Amino acid sequence: MSKSADWPKLSQPALRALANAGYTHLEQLAQTTESELLALHGMGPKSMEPLRQALAERGLSFRT
């Protein structure tokens, strides 16, 4: 799996979880909730803050 340039620094399990769920770009995460991501095997609470910050830098946020 090649690391997408727009992902923030995340653990390998978190990156694999995103890839296995079909997420290839950070902007796709604006269509999902934090709860949905946390339900993925390999995603944990430590992965959420970098994702929140990266989305915010692009004027995006998780779906509520």
C-alpha dihedral over 2, 50, 27, 3, to 10 degrees?
0
> Which pLDDT does position 6 carry in this prediction?
83
Can you name the CATH fold of 27-64?
DNA polymerase; domain 1 (1.10.150)
How many Cα atoms within 13 Å fall on the side-chain side of residue 14?
Answer: 18
Question: 3-state class of 63 per DSSP?
Answer: coil
> Which pLDDT does position 31 carry in this prediction?
96
> Which pLDDT does position 20 carry in this prediction?
97
Query: Which tokens go with 57?
Result: 């830098």
> Which pLDDT does position 5 carry in this prediction?
54
Query: Which tokens go with 14?
Result: 């978190």
Q: What are the pLDDT digits (tens) for 6-57? A: 899 999 999 999 999 999 999 999 999 999 999 999 999 999 999 999 999 9
